[in-house]
Amino acid sequence: MEKISIYIHIPFCERKCNYCAFVSYCLNEEKQNEYIKKLIEEISNFKINKIVQTIYIGGGTPSLLSENNIRKIFDALRKNFLIDKDAEITIEVNPNSVTEEKLKLYKDIGINRISIGVQSLNNKTLREIGRLHDKKAAIKSIKLARKYFTNISADLILGLQHEKNVVKYAKKLISLGVKHISCYMLEVHENTKLFSLIQERRYFPLQDEEVVKSYQNLVKFLKRKKFIQYEISNFAICGYESKHNINYWTFGDYKGFGASSHSYIDGYRIENASKLEEYYSGKQIKEKKNSKTEIEERIMLGLRCKYGVSIKKLSELGYDIMENPYFKDYVEKKIIYLNDDIAYLDSKYYSVSDYIIEHLI
């Protein structure tokens, strides 16, 4: 039977972080319940004959879900889908809203991977970016999660003001038993508070060279700690790589439920509306993935992770990358290497991958 991954978007947060442009709103209990009702309708109305390999409950802040609502979501999923007994099932949690009771419940309903939004372990930094937790709460949440789960991931952000060295945070996370670290480069989006603060010269993110240096130090440190860099921003102890993410990067099918979620099934892309009222009315954009977009996505995703990009697949889509002079040059210089049909970017060059990829698409 063919495989599929499921993503569920929970678009509520207690407060919007200064840097965040993800779709999330501050919703009261009544509005949250209304959303979950619509979400469950969407899940129940969807039929497909594929076996579920991974489920990812992301947000927003899924750890704000009430016990009743999370149970309802899992009841709907189990009723509607055939879920592999070894499926990877992840929930994203924020340190300030996850509790021991919730963690017990997650375990009870079959969740087996926890992703914690730590971002930094410096109280001043956490305050500056508008987080509701402090260092103590982050550490407490990891210790609590460790009581019930072994597969724990933590998110860090690189490039924040005054944060030239995130190695110390990674070190602490590893000492607490974290098996997977996602370290994202700070992105500054328009319409965020951070964007305005930077415009007003009240916030100073790190300069590019400092970010690259900090990233390279982190990569070196995590390598020593036996963390495999399996994607530009993702590191894991062997066996703890996120199957859900790997499915995205290798172009597996996935179905997204909830406002702003994306699906990719049998060559079709579907995007749900982000505004709640539009999502409730069923508004979606559906399109057959065109070959130009697919070529670009395959190169971008494939060269930023250790799974590479298939030259044969690109050629089937109409792009003979072997004829690209830059590509030939990168291969000659061993920046890109080939193994059978797959082209890989040497991970040493991940920090300049944008520049390299630009030449190839």
User: Which residues would be at the binding site for ligand SAM (CB under 6 A)?
Assistant: 19-20, 22, 58-59, 61, 92, 94, 117, 119, 155, 157, 184, 186-187, 189
Q: Name the binder of 167 from ligand SAM, ligand SF4, none, CB < 5-8 A by kind.
A: none
Cβ closest to ligand SAM, residue 127 vs residue 189: 189
Count CB atoms within 10 A of the CB of residue 70. Answer: 21
Nearer to ligand SAM (CB atom), residue 19 or residue 251: 19
Beta carbon nearer to ligand SF4, 34 or 155: 155
Identify what 311 binds: ligand SAM, ligand SF4, none; CB under 5 to 8 Å per kind: none
Q: With CB cut-offs between 5 and 8 Å by kind, which of ligand SAM, ligand SF4, none does residue 16 bind? A: ligand SF4
Task: Name the nearest CA neighbour of 181 among 127, 141, 221.
Answer: 221
Residue 97 CB, nearest distance to ligand SF4 (Å)?
9
User: Starting from the edge strand earliest in sequence, which strands make up the sheet with 284-288, in order?
Assistant: 227-231, 234-237, 180-185, 152-158, 113-119, 82-93, 51-59, 3-10, 254-257, 262-265, 268-272, 284-288
Q: Are 85 and 53 in contact (CB under 8 A)?
A: no
- 78's contact among ligand SF4, ligand SAM, none, with CB below 5 to 8 A by partner kind, is none
Q: How far is the CB of 184 from ligand SAM (least distance, A)?
A: 4
Task: Select 185 or 335, whichever has its Cβ closest to ligand SAM.
Answer: 185
Residue for token digits 């991977």?
Answer: 113
The site partner of 356 among ligand SAM, ligand SF4, none (C-beta below 5 to 8 Å per kind) is none
Dmax over CA atoms of the chain, in Å, equals: 61
Footprint of ligand SF4 (CB under 6 A):
13, 16-17, 20, 22, 24, 59-61, 94, 117
Positive or negative, the CA dihedral 328, 330, 332, 336 is negative
Of 64 and 314, CB closest to ligand SAM: 64
Q: Which is nearer to ligand SF4, 16 or 146 (CB)?
A: 16
Closer by beta carbon to ligand SAM, 11 or else 302: 11
Q: Which does 302 bind (CB under 5 to 8 A by kind): ligand SAM, ligand SF4, none?
A: none
Q: Which amino acid is at 329?
A: D
- Of ligand SF4, ligand SAM, none, which one sits near residue 58, judging by CB under 5 to 8 A according to partner kind? ligand SAM
Nearest distance from residue 93's CB to ligand SAM, in Å?
7
DSSP string, 14-78: SS--TT--SS-B---HHHHHHHHHHHHHHHHH-----EEEEEEEEES-GGGS-HHHHHHHHHHHH
What contacts 86, CB < 8 A, 6 or more positions away? none
- Alpha-helical (H) ranges within 176-275 are 193-199, 208-224, 243-249
Q: Which CB atom, from 93 or from 321, has the smaller least distance to ligand SF4?
A: 93
Provide the token pair at 214. 């900090």
Q: Which is closer to ligand SF4, CB of 17 or CB of 305?
A: 17
Smallest gap from Cβ 60 to ligand SF4, in A, equals 5
Q: Which of ligand SF4, ligand SAM, none does residue 155 bind (CB under 5 to 8 Å by kind)? A: ligand SAM
Query: Is it true that the peptide bond before 318 is cis, omega within 30 degrees of 0?
Result: no
Q: Are 109 and 120 in contact (CB under 8 A)?
A: no
At 309 the three-state DSSP class reads strand
Q: How far is the CB of 152 from ligand SAM (least distance, A)?
A: 13
| Shortest spacing between CB 199 and ligand SAM, in angstroms | 16
Check: CB of residue 185 under 8 Å from CB of residue 159: yes
Measured CA to CA, the distance from residue 19 to residue 39 in angstroms comes to 27
Query: Minimum CB separation from ligand SAM for residue 44, in Å?
Result: 25
